Amino acid sequence: MESRPLVMTRAAQPPGPVLAIAIAVLSQNFGAAFAKSIFPTAGAAGVATLRIACAALVLLAINRPWRHPMDRSRIGDLLIYGLVLGSMNLLIYGAFARIPIGIAVAIEATGPLVVVLLASRRLLDLVWLALTAVGLSLFFPLKVSWASLDPLGVALAGGAGLCWALYIWFGKRVSSMSSGVTVTWGMTIAAVLALPIGLSTAGSVLLQPEVLSMGLAVGVFSSVVPYWLELRALRNLAPQVFGILVSSAPAVGALAAFIVLGERLLPVHWVAVFCIVVACAGSAMTHATRQD
């Protein structure tokens, strides 16, 4: 998503945008926790498909993107943007089914972070990269025990992180289009990708009224509400503040999973989540400060 230049000093910023991002992070992560609660009924791929499809329908109804002109030279990039968005949702929900949500979100968050840090030549970024490596290493104890993580779940979360990095890259390439139009077409393309997968795994279960209603709620709270709030907040919010607030997602995800699902992390996993949150926030502050 694109951000407009900051026109107010950090001290003069209204609390509205900060509250909007905080609500967006809460909405997205609690939506994910409620989504996981229906995995036993519809499966991870089925629930992900419902989330994407319902979000696409709501966005199409709100934004009506066909009324806006499209840059034909960006159709290819828009197609990849939508495919990456769909893959990211399918992969992270697959990870949620196998490992705790807080850990999956933390691993996913390292995708774009590592890409940024590896491309940087700033000395301070080595600190954030090292902290990220420490956080990731704490998820994998040296001694194999009951607390070991599912390797496939970890791989799926890592794949979602890679897709997140690609999502940001191709999101910038299509940023000349209206943000609402971009997200709407991207979510629609993602739905086209996800529907065959979800229908093949869950079948007619996705058409059950209670499953459909839950999918609609998850789509609204995990996709539509966060995107809408973030787009509004970024108009008057400093990039470093946005980065710090979004970096809290792994911790919020772990808290949401504990409240909704009763998922508990080991102390060492909480330390790992904390390391990655600090690395994300530190990197956001460093890069935003240098750009200002």
Q: Which residue type is seen at 154?
A: V
Residue 267 tokens, joined: 């102390």
**Is the pLDDT score of 262 beyond 60?**
yes
Residue with the two structure tokens 């199409």: 60
88: Cβ–Cβ under 8 A, 6 or more apart, which residues? Answer: 160, 163, 164, 167
- Strand blocks (E) in 158-279: none
| 274 contacts 104 by C-beta, under 8 angstroms | no
Whole-angstrom distance, CA of residue 36 vs CA of residue 46: 11
- Read off the pLDDT band of 47 (50, 70, 90): very high
Burial of 232 per CB tally in 10 Å (0-12, 13-18, 19+): middle
Residue 137's pLDDT is what?
76
pLDDT, greater one: 265 or 160: 160
Residue 56's pLDDT is what?
92
Residue 12 tokens, joined: 């003069």
Residue 144's pLDDT is what?
42
113: Cβ–Cβ under 8 A, 6 or more apart, which residues? Answer: 128, 132, 276, 279, 280, 283
**Which helix (H) or strand (E) covers residue 18, if one does?**
helix 15-36
Least confident of 28-37, 143-152, 263-272: 143-152
Please, what's the largest Cα pairwise distance for the chain? Answer: 58
To the nearest 10°, report the CA torsion of 7, 8, 14, 16. 30
| 78 contacts 185 by C-beta, under 8 angstroms | yes
Comparing C-alpha atoms, which of 190, 194, 261 is closest to residue 227? Answer: 190
**Is the pLDDT score of 132 beyond 60?**
yes
Whole-angstrom distance, CA of residue 102 vs CA of residue 108: 10
Average pLDDT over residues 23-39: 89
Residue 141 tokens, joined: 């104890």
- The model's pLDDT over 103-115, given as tens digits with 9 standing for 90+, comes to 898 888 887 777 7
